[in-house]
Structure 1
Amino acid sequence: MYTGYLAPTSNRSDWTETILLEDSESGDVIDLTGCRVTLTMWDQQRCARLTADSDAGTITFPDVGYFTWDFPASTMAGLCPGAYQIGVRITRDERTVQLIIGNVNVMEGIDHQ
């Protein structure tokens, strides 16, 4: 499980992150076939502000061992600048693992053109 901060993002741009899952002992890439990945981002009042999941196609699997979330600028524009908590889980069959418990800072975009 990863805990910590994700790179800051802007509320005036797309937010795309790609994560690679590798076995910590062997270094082998983990096959995500048949997995469901979910993401929730909360504000300071613990209200969900962004959600994504692989069932809906808002999280995709671009290659073996990788998953990507992609929020367009139009969605990011609804976020106030500040610190948010983020969680990512992966489920296969009846087993669920928490992959990420962390924070991300959303910065106010400067260019309003």
Structure 2
Amino acid sequence: MNYEQYGRSTASAQYFLQLAGYLGIPVIAWNADNSGLERRASQTSLQLQLAPSLEHQTAAMLSILERYKWHQFSVVTSLIAGHDDFIQAVRERVSAMQVGFRRI
């Protein structure tokens, strides 16, 4: 069978998004579809990824933060496949941005 199971983690994600909405906290979500496989695939695999890469998603998110001058942010994630890779991609992008600012 090919179906999704909705358990406690889904309810907690919905609660978090609802709470953030009530408090007026902006939420930028990443697309986990296909991203979990991205870093684990070898360079020689025949994988075609149609979803944006983690690097593209984090670059877009951080450019929004930079555009609106939001200098502090939090990453909230569940244990969805690829969450460690997403956090690492955010760290790498932030480090690259900090190096760029030091050169100016």
TM-score of the superposition, structure 1-length normalised? 0.29
Which protein has the bigger helix share?
2
Which structure has more RCO (C-alpha within 8 Å, separation ≥ 6)? 1
> For the pair shown, which has the larger CA radius of gyration, 1 or 2?
2
| Structure with the higher strand share, 1 or 2 | 1
TM score, norm. by length of structure 2: 0.30
